[in-house]
């Protein structure tokens, strides 16, 4: 399963797997990541003296699409109780640490590394697995953690949005972490921000937006259709329009009485049909009406 020379690898299809427990082997990594796609080889660098791996490895897939899918489904899963960090191997080789390290306090004991990653990765790229400080004997959380972002824009957004918010029923406190080298000095200084702005590698990454997608914009709705007004009664119209009260019947047009009734006009045949004969243009006369028969005499009046 050992990989060949680095120059022969497909770097675009190779992923970096970090945070591995000492019990993880190359065969276990192969069986785990083959669920995401065809695996070409697996390589875990080992110490020359102890022959133990150093907590990370590389998995090469057949294609770049399989590598991207493996990152999506395998990142931050737990192996032997430890969350693993999965990203592109080329991205792991970059020096993106600009000092955007934040401190998160008052954590609930139920908060784990994956919950922190899923929550804070919406603000920007997280370079390393969120580090929750735990008791070495019991493994329980001490109630605080550290997250290292790839840019100060992401760390500033995380502090502004999440400071004082509830996470697992506890309000968390967020601020920039203290530097290890300088006593009492926190990250996020003006000097660090200036150096980060001049780092071209930090500008190439984009935030993980899986949990920060904005809702789609509302569709434009057509203006509501108003119902037609109810018809006015004749009394209401005559009351509010005096002209109708003075002329309740239609006034004939000037210069010539009413229009000719349609019943007196000769019918027009459809297009393409011969004209109707003159003797058939008028309706036949109605038969004369017969007088109604006289009622029968009343029997009581007959003597």
Of residues 298 and 153, the one with the higher pLDDT is 153
What's the mean pLDDT in 183-198? 83
Alpha carbon distances (Å) from 40 to 69, 132, 173, 177? 15, 34, 45, 41
User: Could you tell me the pTM of the whole model?
Assistant: 0.47
pLDDT value at residue 171: 95
Alpha carbon distances (Å) from 80 to 83, 145, 146? 8, 21, 22
Of residues 290 and 71, the one with the higher pLDDT is 71
Can you say whether residue 55 is alpha, beta or left, with left for phi > 0 and alpha for psi between -120 and 50 degrees? left
Query: What phi and psi values does residue 89 have, to the nearest 5 degrees?
Result: -65, -35
Q: Distance (Å, rounded) from C-alpha 113 to C-alpha 132?
A: 7
The structure tokens listed for 249 are 């019947």
Q: Is the torsion defined by CA of 205, 189, 111, 26 positive or negative? A: positive
| b/e map 237-248, b = 16+ CB within 10 Å | eeeeeeeeeeee
Residue 84, Cβ neighbours under 10 Å: how many? 24
What's the mean pLDDT in 137-141? 88
pLDDT value at residue 254: 55
Q: Distance (Å, rounded) from C-alpha 265 to C-alpha 45?
A: 106
Q: C-alpha angle with apex 26: 23 to 31, nearest 5 degrees?
A: 100
Under a CB-based contact definition with an 8 Å cutoff, are residues 69 and 141 in contact?
Answer: no
For the chain, the average pLDDT equals 75
Of residues 233 and 68, the one with the higher pLDDT is 68
pLDDT value at residue 228: 62
pLDDT value at residue 240: 58
Instruction: Flag whether pLDDT at 163 surpasses 90.
Output: yes
What's the mean pLDDT in 286-302? 61
Tell me, letter by letter, the H, E, C secondary structure of 72-133. Answer: HHHCCCEECCEECEEEEHHHHCCCCCCCEEEEEECCCCCCCHHHHHHHHCCCCCECCCCEEE
pLDDT value at residue 127: 79
Under a CB-based contact definition with an 8 Å cutoff, are residues 97 and 190 in contact?
Answer: no
Instruction: Flag whether pLDDT at 64 surpasses 50.
Output: yes
pLDDT value at residue 239: 62
Under a CB-based contact definition with an 8 Å cutoff, are residues 196 and 99 in contact?
Answer: yes
pLDDT value at residue 194: 85
Confidence of residue 129 (pLDDT cuts 50, 70, 90): confident
Q: Distance (Å, rounded) from C-alpha 191 to C-alpha 253?
A: 93
pLDDT value at residue 190: 86
Instruction: Flag whether pLDDT at 185 surpasses 80.
Output: yes
pLDDT value at residue 295: 64
pLDDT value at residue 284: 59
pLDDT digits (tens, 9 = 90+) for 94-116: 456 788 899 999 999 999 888 89
Confidence of residue 226 (pLDDT cuts 50, 70, 90): low
Of residues 43 and 259, the one with the higher pLDDT is 43
pLDDT value at residue 213: 42
């Amino acid at each position: 399963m050992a990989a060949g020379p680095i120059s022969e690898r497909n770097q675009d299809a190779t992923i970096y797997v970090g945070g591995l427990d000492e019990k993880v082997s190359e065969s276990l990594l192969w069986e785990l990541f083959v669920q995401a796609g065809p695996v070409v080889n697996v390589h875990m660098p080992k110490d020359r003296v102890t022959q133990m791996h150093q907590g990370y490895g590389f998995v090469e897939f057949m294609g770049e699409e399989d590598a991207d899918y493996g990152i999506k489904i395998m990142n931050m899963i737990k192996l032997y109780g430890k969350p693993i960090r999965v990203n592109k191997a080329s991205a792991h080789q970059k020096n993106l640490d600009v000092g955007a390290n934040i401190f998160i306090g008052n954590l609930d004991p139920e908060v784990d590394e994956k919950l922190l990653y899923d929550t804070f990765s919406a603000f920007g790229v997280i370079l390393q697995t969120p580090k929750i400080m735990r008791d070495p004997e019991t493994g329980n959380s001490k109630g605080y953690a550290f997250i290292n972002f790839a840019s100060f824009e992401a760390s500033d957004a995380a502090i502004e949005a999440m400071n004082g918010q509830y996470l697992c029923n506890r309000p968390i406190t967020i601020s920039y972490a203290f530097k290890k080298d300088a006593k009492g000095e926190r990250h996020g200084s003006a000097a660090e921000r200036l150096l980060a702005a001049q780092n071209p590698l930090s500008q190439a990454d984009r935030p993980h937006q899986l949990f920060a997608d904005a809702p789609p914009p509302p569709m434009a709705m057509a203006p509501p259709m108003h119902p037609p007004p109810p018809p006015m009664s004749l009394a209401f119209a005559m009351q509010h329009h005096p002209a109708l009260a003075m002329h309740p019947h239609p006034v004939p047009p000037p210069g010539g009485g009413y229009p000719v009734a349609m019943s007196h006009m000769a019918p027009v045949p459809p297009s393409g049909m011969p004209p109707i004969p003159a003797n058939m243009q008028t309706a036949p006369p109605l038969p004369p009406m017969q007088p109604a028969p006289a009622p029968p005499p009343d029997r009581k009046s007959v003597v």
